[in-house]
Amino acid sequence: VRLAGGPSRCAGRVEVQHEGRWGTVCDDDWDMLDAAVLCRELGCGTALSAPSGAWFGEGSGPIWLNGLRCQGTEERLAQCRHRGWRKHVCAHEEDASAVCSGDLVVRLAGGPGRCAGRVELWHQGRWGTVCDDDWGLPDGTVVCRELGCGAALEAPRGARFGPGTGPIWLDDVGCSGEEAALGQCRARPWGRNNCNHEEDASVVCTASPPGGPMVRLTGAEGRCAGRLEVFHEGLWGTVCDDMWGLPDAAVVCRELGCGAPLSAPGGALFGEGSGPIWLDNVRCRGNESALLQCPAAPWGVTDCQHREDAAVVCTGTRAEGPSARWERLRLSGGHGRCAGRVEVLHAGRWGTVCDDGWSLAAAAVVCRELGCGAALESPGRAQYGPGTGPIWLDEVNCTGTEPALRRCPAEPWGRHNCNHHEDASAVCQGGI
């Protein structure tokens, strides 16, 4: 087993050797327990993050493993439960990754979490800081990527998180933003600077924005859609859907680096949350950079219940990190994005779904995944016209509770006995 494509041997795309060939691991069910076992096996310390969506680039060759279910106590990844060698319906855009603590040469100190704080580097056996001369977002972007902390929100100067101690290792850092590690960026020679610790550089990454609530989307497939939750006073809580709309969703999508908003569902579309309902009557203009900047009722003042939890569906982009799958499912041929012929993106091509076994339960999964409300109809026989290209799925048998269509039992990708006059469709509440 190895980690490839990252800044060190302890961070990168997960690759395993089987039958004499290196291959990747699909990110279905990939989580921190799996990453913990991998980091232990490699002698790389503890797991810091378990990114999905080919965070460190797409691999090549076979996809050996899928559906890993480690308990976290195993000594080797091969000891974990999985679906069998090469049994998957994945593409390399779903390659799993891991970031381990071992071999860590950069860290963020003095902040509210590991993804925001003063930049410190390990060099010659000592931790030291970076001077803020020429420090900017491209430099912060590299640090956030190296730590598996998402995108850079800010690159503060002037010892925002307090002055450090020890040597000031780097000065006049000039990253392009494309480097895999800060040590690859142009800078003065190590230890040469004209700074003091009041000029220590800092970074705030999307995984942990300080000075306000942390924001996340949960309950759905991917990080760019789901029930909206904010972190306040040490607790995750939800947002009430009173006055919730697309301008509010636009701010959340921007804050998370998830592109543009597709919808702003209310009514706990992605399930009811738990804990406090932190915000109510949120009224964003849509141009704010963070949800905290929007007018709202005071923290915790609400007349709502969790059945009114607000949600967001963003477009998401692979370039912005482990992101949602929303660009891999669409409804075509209808009057809007919430009604039409079901099409899925697989192996780089859009294709259709055969109506054999197609049901209202399957349509419900599609509507939920797209943030389009409840399913009203599940027409077959190419009601919205026959599609083109491959027929990717047949005999889809959803229960209606799955978070994504690809989680439903079906024939293997591309195996069917259909033609395009049997293309399946869905009509969602959001499409009327």
CATH of span 214-320: 3.10.250.10
Of 319 and 314, which is predicted with more confidence? 314
pLDDT given at position 234: 56
pLDDT of 429: 82
Q: 3-class DSSP state for residue 113?
A: strand
- Give pLDDT tens digits for 177-221: 887 778 778 888 889 999 999 999 999 886 643 334 478 888 776
Q: State yes or no: pLDDT of 165 exceeds 60.
A: yes
Is it true that domain 106-205 has CATH number 3.10.250.10? yes
Residues 264 and 249: their CA atoms lie apart, in Å, by 6
CATH 3.10.250.10 correct for 2-100: yes
Taking residues 390-395, report their average pLDDT.
92
Q: DSSP label at 246?
A: H
Alpha-carbon span 91 to 74, nearest angstrom: 27
Cross-strand partners of 225: 313
Residue 53: pLDDT band with limits 50, 70, 90: confident
Q: How much is the average pLDDT of 300-306?
A: 92
The pLDDT, as a whole number, for residue 320 is: 33
What is the pLDDT at residue 325?
A: 40
Average pLDDT, the chain: 84
User: Cβ-count burial of 21 within 10 angstroms (0-12 exposed, 13-18 middle, 19+ buried)?
Assistant: exposed
Task: Identify the CA nearest to 259 among candidates 220, 309, 307, 217.
Answer: 217
User: Any residues with CB less than 8 A from the CB of 407 and at least 6 apart, and which?
Assistant: 221, 365
Which has the higher per-residue pLDDT, 159 or 151? Answer: 159
247: pLDDT strictly greater than 90: yes
SS3 391: strand
326-431 architecture in CATH? Roll (3.10)
Q: Considering only 3-12, 33-42, 137-146, 382-391, which range has the smallest mean pLDDT?
A: 3-12
**% of the chain exceeding 90 in pLDDT:** 37
pLDDT given for residue 219 in this prediction: 78
Contact 336, 296 (CB under 8 A): no
Amino acid 208: pLDDT? 45
- pLDDT tier at 368 (50, 70, 90 boundaries)? confident
User: If you average pLDDT over each of 37-46, 334-343, 398-407, which comes out highest?
Assistant: 334-343
- The per-residue pLDDT for 104 is 57
| Confidence class for position 47, pLDDT limits 50, 70, 90 | confident
pTM: 0.36
Q: Determine the average pLDDT of the residues in 118-144.
A: 90
The per-residue pLDDT for 431 is 52
Which residues of the chain does CATH 3.10.250.10 include? 2-100, 106-205, 214-320, 326-431
- Asked if pLDDT for residue 122 goes beyond 70, the answer is yes
